[in-house]
């Protein structure tokens, strides 16, 4: 029964594909417009909160990357996008090598674009209060190793530390977009989500690839390697989010590697090598570092903004 349904579906798909191809060949000049949407609704009202929720993460990324590379943030680049939200706590320029600096500056500017795209498509809210202080990162890394690192971890000290701190960030956006995808229905909002997901996952892949090249190096002055750091951070996030393994370090046991055939894990993905997905509640448990979406903390001392995050905080 099921295969029959599937094959008639693919038959319908084939017909509509070929009619599109025939349609475009019959034009005298090439077009660049996408075919008309199957469901002609640009934005469903239910899309709005989910995409606005992502602004919490996009603001975090924008400030961390812009400050890290340039020493200033959204207020210097595009202040109206902050919509009057308070400036971040403790963000500062990082001591980066020239190539890493160029890439992180690019990532920072990309986040400005993401903020603009989301806010102009579904509206937005003011930048939440963000704690990007080295003290906050140090606490997170202590939590990951389950003992205080000595000296405290400083994300801004050098490129390796900064990229390890960055390992914490676009991944949350990536899994959040994968999680939101089934609930986004408008053709404009779907297009927005796909575009955001593509760049977030590219950023995550760059960061992970950069770290993988140094996987066996010690993160001085500690005795742990770069790979150890990623494994501990991923384990911490799985623990905070409380929904099983959806986050993997750069080296994994074979049974978590692609096709159970490799321990190399430059990308974090499930048994079919598909990206993991997370709900807003899982993301908040992680980025609040409290394991509780009702309890603000971590990067968001006063919690996230927007209806989804505020409702969790209010019903506490």
Ligand X SMILES: *[C@@H]1O[C@H](CO)[C@@H](O)[C@H](O)[C@H]1NC(C)=O
CA distances from 309 to 105, 128, 137, 200, 312 (A): 28, 11, 22, 21, 5
Instruction: List the x/- string, 198-237, binding to ligand X by CB under 6 A.
Output: ----------------------------------------
Please report how close the Cβ of residue 234 comes to ligand X at its closest, in angstroms: 18
Span near ligand X by CB under 6 A; candidates 62-70, 138-146, 182-190, 254-262: 254-262
Neighbours of 145 (CB within 10 A): 17
Taking the least distance from each CB to ligand X, the nearer of 25 and 261 is 261
* Nearest partner of 279 among 240, 235, 241, 306, judged by Cα: 241
255 makes contact with ligand X (CB under 6 A): yes
Please report how close the Cβ of residue 38 comes to ligand X at its closest, in angstroms: 33
What secondary structure letter does DSSP report for 89? B
CA distances from 301 to 2, 10, 55, 88 (A): 50, 50, 16, 11
Phi, psi torsion values for 218, nearest 5 degrees: -75, 140
Which structure tokens are listed for 63?
Answer: 């400030």
Instruction: Report the distance separating Cα 290 and Cα 295, nearest Å.
Output: 6
- Which one among 18, 260, 264, 273 touches ligand X, defined by CB under 6 A? 260
Count the site residues for ligand X by CB under 6 A. 4
Please report how close the Cβ of residue 245 comes to ligand X at its closest, in angstroms: 11
- Which one among 15, 194, 263, 271 touches ligand X, defined by CB under 6 A? 271
263 makes contact with ligand X (CB under 6 A): no
Span near ligand X by CB under 6 A; candidates 14-22, 114-122, 212-220, 253-261: 253-261
Q: Are 74 and 63 in contact (CB under 8 A)?
A: yes
Please report how close the Cβ of residue 259 comes to ligand X at its closest, in angstroms: 5
Which structure tokens are listed for 48?
Answer: 């709005």
- Which one among 259, 274, 314, 315 touches ligand X, defined by CB under 6 A? 259
Instruction: Report the distance separating Cα 77 and Cα 14, nearest Å.
Output: 47
Taking the least distance from each CB to ligand X, the nearer of 205 and 245 is 245
Span near ligand X by CB under 6 A; candidates 70-78, 184-192, 252-260, 273-281: 252-260
What secondary structure letter does DSSP report for 183? G
Please report how close the Cβ of residue 255 comes to ligand X at its closest, in angstroms: 4
Which structure tokens are listed for 144?
Answer: 């990951």
**Interacting residue ranges for ligand X, rule: CB under 6 A:** 255, 259-260, 271
């Amino acid at each position: 029964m099921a295969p029959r349904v599937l094959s008639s579906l693919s038959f319908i798909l084939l017909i509509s594909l070929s009619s599109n191809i025939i349609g475009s060949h019959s034009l005298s000049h090439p077009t660049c417009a996408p075919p008309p949407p199957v469901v002609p609704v640009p934005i469903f009202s239910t899309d709005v909160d989910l995409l606005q929720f992502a602004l919490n993460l996009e603001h975090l990324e924008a400030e961390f990357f812009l400050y890290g590379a340039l020493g200033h943030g959204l207020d210097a680049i595009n202040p109206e996008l902050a919509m009057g939200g308070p400036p971040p706590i403790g963000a500062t320029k990082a001591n980066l090598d020239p190539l890493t600096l160029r890439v992180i500056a690019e990532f920072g500017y990309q986040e400005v674009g993401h903020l603009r795209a989301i806010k102009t498509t579904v509206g937005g809210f003011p930048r939440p209060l963000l704690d990007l202080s080295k003290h906050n990162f140090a606490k997170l890394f202590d939590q990951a190793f389950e003992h205080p690192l000595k000296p405290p971890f400083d994300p801004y000290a050098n490129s390796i530390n900064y990229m390890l701190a960055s390992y914490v960030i676009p991944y949350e956006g990536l899994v959040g977009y994968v999680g939101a995808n089934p609930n986004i229905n408008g053709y404009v909002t779907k297009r927005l989500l796909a575009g955001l997901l593509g760049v977030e996952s590219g950023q995550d892949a760059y960061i992970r690839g950069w770290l993988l090249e140094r996987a066996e190096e010690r993160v001085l002055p500690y005795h742990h390697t770069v790979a150890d750091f990623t494994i501990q951070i991923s384990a911490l996030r799985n623990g905070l989010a409380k929904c099983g393994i959806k986050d993997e370090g750069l080296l994994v046991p074979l049974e978590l590697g692609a096709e159970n055939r490799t321990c190399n894990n430059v990308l974090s993905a499930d048994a079919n090598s598909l990206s993991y997905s997370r709900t807003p509640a899982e993301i908040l448990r992680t980025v609040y570092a409290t394991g509780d979406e009702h309890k603000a903390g971590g990067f968001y001392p006063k919690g996230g903004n927007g209806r989804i995050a505020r409702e969790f905080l209010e019903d506490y």
